[in-house]
Chains A and B, each alone.
Chain A
């Protein structure tokens, strides 16, 4: 199957700073990528859909000015958590949909963010 990577796999930052998370499709092109957040013992929550060459589509309740998404190329999408606070500590996962008819999503390994 296709491979999606994320970097970093974990990060600790101080409150008020910004953190950038990268999501790359390694062996295929992804015009669309999805960003999820997952709190402990909870399911995946879709934050936004990243579209190559255009603005991201944010889910209701997700602040677009706080979670900046840039999909600059067909293999890279970035999520920047600006002015991070402890409540932003979570597991952030990106995914890219399959190009065939299965609609399977290929997930990155996730990024564990801890804001102190």
Chain B
């Protein structure tokens, strides 16, 4: 079966750095997405990785290792507004998105 694992909840301090991990086992791979979702709102796109390596976009970076079935989202200089759920999703061989359960990130002052 297809499976995506990410931690249920993480806590970090304002101004710090946090890394949210995602491991996946899917039938085929056509890329991995990270989305941010605030409570009661729809997800918003953060990143898309299809090749191995690190992609940096401002305070957010996303890393992918296809051989390990592993990705992480790195958030730097955390702000209170970064408190949200972070969803990892993999595009499988049928170009269907397989979603992880999401990681709720709590930022403390």
A residues with a Cβ closer than 8 A to B are 1, 34, 41-46, 91, 93, 95, 102-110, 112
- The stretch among B11-19, B56-64, B68-76, B96-104 that forms the contact with chain A is B96-104
Q: Is A43's CB under 8 angstroms from B101's CB?
A: yes
Given A43-B99, A44-B43, A103-B33; 15 other pairs, CB 8 A cutoff: A41-B104, A43-B87, A43-B100, A46-B96, A91-B40, A93-B43, A102-B48, A103-B48, A103-B95, A104-B33, A106-B45, A108-B42, A109-B41, A110-B40, A112-B40
Residue of A nearest to B33 (CB): A104
Q: Is A105's CB under 8 angstroms from B42's CB?
A: no
B residues with a Cβ closer than 8 A to A are 30-31, 33, 40-45, 48, 87, 91, 95-97, 99-102, 104
Q: Which residues of A contact B97 (CB under 8 A)?
A: 34, 46, 105
Q: Which residues of A contact B31 (CB under 8 A)?
A: 103
Complex Cα spacing A93 to B48, Å:
20
Q: Which residues of A contact B102 (CB under 8 A)?
A: 42-43
Q: Is A1's CB under 8 angstroms from B45's CB?
A: yes
How far is the CB of B87 from the nearest CB of chain A, in Å? 6
Known pairs A43-B87, A44-B99; A93 contacts B30 (CB<8 A): no
Q: Is B41's CB under 8 angstroms from A44's CB?
A: no
Q: Which residues of B contact A44 (CB under 8 A)?
A: 43, 87, 99
Residue of B nearest to A10 (CB): B40
Residue of A nearest to B4 (CB): A43
How far is the CB of B7 from the nearest CB of chain A, in Å? 13
Q: Which residues of B contact A1 (CB under 8 A)?
A: 45
Complex Cα spacing A104 to B95, Å:
11
Q: Which residues of A contact B41 (CB under 8 A)?
A: 109-110
Residue of B nearest to A105 (CB): B97
Known pairs A43-B100, A43-B102; A107 contacts B87 (CB<8 A): no
Complex Cα spacing A108 to B43, Å:
9
